[in-house]
């Protein structure tokens, strides 16, 4: 090597090594918050965990004890109601995209689904407010409606991808037997993709379980148990927001406990989902 090239080669090696260190450092920096969050939530939430707090409702001012029982109940009811709307719409849309992908309509649906999934959840909350809260008031229905809209694009996308994995030969074999398209789909294709579809639904549930902005707009704070579809319910994520900086120790502890419950639930869904499928969903 010539002298100048030799010098330049050393510089290149130096830059190469430096960048290698920097990109790995980026990974470490990106992972620190994750472990810090998990550690904090666990260490501050776990000490207050017992059977009693899981079945008691939020305490009133000055009242000792209390729990997150009503928030767990409320969160589950809200997710259940949201799923009743969101799952069928999402799965059917996903079926349309995978079965009739050749239609011009499909690429538009796919595009606007992606766009919808990028909307801020608080805007979806306002939308639900203008439609449902203005007619029946702050209620679990309004919250479920907002969450359903958040679920639809996620489920649509994962369903489409799950169905696409079923090999074409399977469909062709069934169609060649003279089985109609819809029967092939329901009895054969969906059976082959049911894991993938279930995963998508779980993913959507995990996502909306942690939503608090639309909950705040559509229900606000509710201290009691479920008492009707036209009334609000309590919510774990909202508990965190409302009580994180409250003046009472036991309220703050319940905020951390809510965070622990929520995180555990979401992590569990994600890990189960990972074990269920090898395929990656964005």
Partner 1 sequence: MMGHPYKFEVEKLDAYFGEKKVLNNINMKIRDKAVTAIIGPSGCGKTTLLRCLNRMHEIIPGARVHGKVLFNGVNIYDDEIDPVTIRRKIGMVFQKPNPFPMMSIYENVAIGLKLNGVRERKKLDSAVERALKMANLWDEVKNDLHRSGASLSGGQQQRLCIARALAVEPEAILMDEPCSALDPIATEKIESLIRNLAEEYAVIIVTHNMQQAARVSDFTAFLYLGELIEYGTTKELFENPKNPLTEKYITGRFG
Partner 2 sequence: MKDFREKLRGDYLLFLLTGASASSVFIIIGLIVYKLIEGSWLSIQRFGIGFLIGTEWDPAISQNFGALPLISGTLVTSGIALLIGVPISLGVGLVLSEYMPRQLSFATSFVIELLAAIPSVIYGLWGIFTLAPFLRDNVYPYLQALLGFTPLFSGPIYGGGVLTAGIILAIMIIPTISSISRDVFSAVPNSQREAVISLGATRWETVKIVMSYARSGVIGAVLLGLGRAVGETMAVTMVIGNRFQVFPSSLFDAWYTLAAIIANEFTEATYDLYLSALIEVGLVLFLFTLMINILARIIILRALGPMRGIARE
**Listed ranges 4-12, 54-62, 233-241, 265-273: which one lies at the site for partner 1 (CB under 8 A):** 4-12
The encoded tokens of residue 106 equal 């499909």
Q: For residues 201 and 88, what is the distance between their CA atoms, to the nearest angstrom?
A: 10
Asked if 182 is part of the footprint of partner 1 (rule: CB under 8 A), the reply reads no
Per-residue interface string for the shown chain with partner 2, residues 75-94, x marking contact by CB under 8 A: -------------xx--xx-
DSSP conformational letter for 61:
T
Residue 106's binding partner out of partner 1, partner 2, none, with CB under 5 to 8 Å set by partner kind: partner 2
Task: Give percent helix, percent strand, percent coil of the chain, each to the nearest 5.
Answer: 75, 0, 25
**Interface of this chain with partner 2, residues 158 to 217, rule: CB under 8 A:** 180-183, 185, 206-207, 209-213, 216-217
Instruction: Please report how close the Cβ of residue 133 comes to partner 2 at its closest, in angstroms.
Output: 10
**Interface of this chain with partner 1, residues 20 to 79, rule: CB under 8 A:** none
Instruction: Please report how close the Cβ of residue 73 comes to partner 2 at its closest, in angstroms.
Output: 18
Instruction: Please report how close the Cβ of residue 224 comes to partner 2 at its closest, in angstroms.
Output: 17
The encoded tokens of residue 26 equal 């980026």
Among 58, 95, 166, 202, binds partner 2 (CB under 8 A): 95
246: left (phi over 0), alpha (psi -120 to 50) or beta: beta
The encoded tokens of residue 72 equal 């767990």
Q: End-to-end CA distance of the chain, in Å?
A: 48
Among 29, 51, 168, 177, binds partner 2 (CB under 8 A): 29
Locus of tokens 């702050």? 138
């Amino acid at each position: 090597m010539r002298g100048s090239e030799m010098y330049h080669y050393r510089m290149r090696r130096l830059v190469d090594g430096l960048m290698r260190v920097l990109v790995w450092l980026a990974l470490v920096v990106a992972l620190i918050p994750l472990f810090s969050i998990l550690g904090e939530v666990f260490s501050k939430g776990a000490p207050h965990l017992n059977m009693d707090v899981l079945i008691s409702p939020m305490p009133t001012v000055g009242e000792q004890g209390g729990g997150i029982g009503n928030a767990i109940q409320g969160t589950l009811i809200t997710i259940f109601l949201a799923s009743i709307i969101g799952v069928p719409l999402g799965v059917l849309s996903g079926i349309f995209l995978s079965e009739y992908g050749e239609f011009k309509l499909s690429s538009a649906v796919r595009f606007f689904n992606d766009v919808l999934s990028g909307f801020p959840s608080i805007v979806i909350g306002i939308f639900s407010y203008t439609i449902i809260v203005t007619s029946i008031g702050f209620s679990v229905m309004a919250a479920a409606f907002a969450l359903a809209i958040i679920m639809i694009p996620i489920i649509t996308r994962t369903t489409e991808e799950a169905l696409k994995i079923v090999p074409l030969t399977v469909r062709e074999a069934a169609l060649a037997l003279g089985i109609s398209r819809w029967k092939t789909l329901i009895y054969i294709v969906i059976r082959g993709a049911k894991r993938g579809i279930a995963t998508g639904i779980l993913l959507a549930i995990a996502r909306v379980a942690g939503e608090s902005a639309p909950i705040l707009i559509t229900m606000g704070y509710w201290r009691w148990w479920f008492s009707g579809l036209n009334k609000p319910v309590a919510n774990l994520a909202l508990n965190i927001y409302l009580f994180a900086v409250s003046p009472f120790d036991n309220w703050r502890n319940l905020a951390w406990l809510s965070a622990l419950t929520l995180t555990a639930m979401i992590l569990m869904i994600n890990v189960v989902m990972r074990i269920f499928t090898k395929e990656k969903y964005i």
